[in-house]
Copies of this chain bind each other. A is one copy, B any other.
């Protein structure tokens, strides 16, 4: 089952700058070979469900290891069986609408 998801991992009980935790998660997602794009409020990931959620688990383990006693994560996940759609297709569809294509 292929999923497209938006992952946002928020460590609590740390200093306020969260970028080092986001960077550590980014490295885990890259090492897992998952297609991904960073944006201002999370990371978009495309891949097989099992591989994606193994990576998400590693992100939590890593962020705890780095010193965060508590983590709050938000995931938005899409699956569809009517067609195969990539992350860039979703953006292109909207851009085509805006151009009146």
Report A's interface with B, CB cutoff 8 A: 1, 4-6, 8, 10, 12-13, 15-20, 22-23, 26-27, 37-42, 44, 49-50, 53, 57, 60-61, 64, 69-82, 87-88, 90-91, 93-98
Closest to A78 in B: B72
Q: What is the oligomeric copy number?
A: 4
Least CB distance from A39 to B in Å reads 4
Q: Is the CB of B97 within 8 A of A23?
A: yes
CB distance A42 to B6 under 8 Å?
yes
Pair B71/A6 contact, Cβ less than 8 Å = no
Q: List 11 A-B contacts (CB under 8 A).
A: A5-B41, A10-B12, A19-B96, A23-B94, A23-B97, A37-B40, A69-B82, A70-B80, A72-B76, A72-B77, A75-B77
Contact B22 A78 (CB under 8 A): no
Q: Which residues of B contact A93 (CB under 8 A)?
A: 17, 19
CB distance from A62 to the nearest CB of B (A): 12
